[in-house]
Structure 1
Amino acid sequence: MNSLLRSAVLLTVTAGLLGAPSAAALPDAPHEGPHTTRPGLPQPLRASATREAVEFFWYDCSHSVKLEAPLSRWAARHQGEVTLRRVPAIWVGSPQERVQTAHARLYYTLERLDAVDRLQERAFRAVHSEDADLTTEDLATAWAARQGLDTAAFRRAYRSSEVDREVAAAPALFARYEVNELPTVIVDGRYRTAPSTAGGVDAMPAELDRLIQQP
């Protein structure tokens, strides 16, 4: 992730803005149409020869949980054509900030260990369905060990400066892309879709199919 993203202004929200953890959208938040082109939106996160879809999610968001399996299948269908990236939610100043920060550290640790494809659904299930507390290094490491990951390697990644930088940068990405609903998927830094604009989580893969056909 480049220095411009890491130095972007952090997103701040009031303590009551986020609402219930399972809510897809912030109260009274404006929403765009799924095909809207935003000239002010930044370019894709990383240079790539393929189209880029960036999902903004949270492990304890029911709508993000519901999208995970369909989104993974969608990405598999478009392998070689679309690169799927993920950014975990951290809304600075919200009641969930501490938990979200811990979940983001878990996600970026899995990413560093190339374990996201195998364990992302399990992480969603552990946090959202099984009410597992994965907000400390010891708890996250114990869970990772049960998933077959090497304990020492997990701890090294969890504590690494690379994961520190990714976690620190996540709130700025939410601010930069003006994300106010979970999950949100942005294509090529120009087009976005979310449950409120797609007509529900179930309709988002079809919307993404249309968005990647846009110039």
Structure 2
Amino acid sequence: MIASAALMFTAAGAYAAEPKEGVEYTTISPVPTEASGKKVEVIEFFMFTCPHCNALEPRISAWVKQNADKIHFRRIHFARNEKDPLARAYVTLETMGTPEIASQKLFDAIHKEHKRLMREEDVTAVVVSAGVDKAKYESVYKSFGVESKMKRIGSLIGQYKVEYAPTLIIDGRYMTSPTLAGRPGQPEEQSQAAAIAVADYLVAKVAATKK
């Protein structure tokens, strides 16, 4: 499994050898995961306003679908504060069990339609346009559960020691990103491919210990 992941890494055109700790990925102090059974947890720290997160979105979404039987994937949205409407929108959708239903709409509104989406009502309008029930969404948006999750975002960022988006955390102990996995001056698409290949390698590495 790890050998095949290394081959995939090479195929991505990033490096000839398997990824190196401290170079293409780093090891962090372990944080408990939510994965069960043999699945490996993968977390993406992201922001809807981040152009690099937007660029990575099609690739990471396809990768998650391809590895649905191997990984437990979730996202954590950086938040400016506990009232951040974009972060709160994602937490609300996640709480509703439909975290991806409006994500592309929000990315597109910001990066294709050039909307600022700084106000709660503007974000809600985009979410509802994706087919989300407005009354249910607004009820969950103001719920205690969402409030609690919003208060935890800052501490989670501190636990994982994440400094920028997008960043991937594998099994609560390995960190990689296009910035870490890519080469200086490399086109963004190649850096993205390298990060996904490193994630493949790390998922295989962790999965091998779960057998």
Q: What TM-score comes out, normalization by structure 1 length?
A: 0.75
SS at structure 2 position matched to 1:83: strand
Q: Deviations over 1:2-34 (max 9, x none)?
A: xxxxxxxxxxxxxxxxxxxxxxxxxxxxx9433
- The CA distance in 2 between the partners of 1:64 and 1:198, in whole Å, is 15
Q: Which consecutive residues of structure 1, in runs of 5 or more, have no partner in the other structure?
A: 1-30, 91-96
Partner of residue 66, structure 1: 55
SS at structure 1 position matched to 2:196: helix
Instruction: After TM superposition, give the deviation of residue 129 of structure 1 in Å.
Output: 2.8
Q: Which consecutive residues of structure 2, in runs of 5 or more, have no partner in the other structure?
A: 1-20, 183-190, 207-211
Q: Tell me which structure has the larger Cα radius of gyration.
A: 2
- Percent identity for Structure 1 against Structure 2: 31
- The CA distance in 1 between the partners of 2:83 and 2:52, in whole Å, is 15
How many residue pairs match? The answer is 177
Q: Deviations over 1:72-126 (max 9, x none)?
A: 1111111121011100012xxxxxx259822110111111223322321221111
Partner of residue 5, structure 2: none
- The CA distance in 2 between the partners of 1:73 and 1:89, in whole Å, is 22
Aligned 8 A contact 1:137 1:158 in 2: no
- The CA distance in 1 between the partners of 2:136 and 2:160, in whole Å, is 32
Aligned 8 A contact 2:41 2:73 in 1: yes
Aligned 8 A contact 1:42 1:189 in 2: yes
Partner of residue 148, structure 1: 131
Q: Deviations over 1:139-172 (max 9, x none)?
A: 2222222222111111101111111111111111
Amino acid at match of 2:50: C
Alpha-carbon spacing, 1:100–1:212, altered in 2? closer, same or farther (3 Å): farther
- The CA distance in 2 between the partners of 1:126 and 1:153, in whole Å, is 22
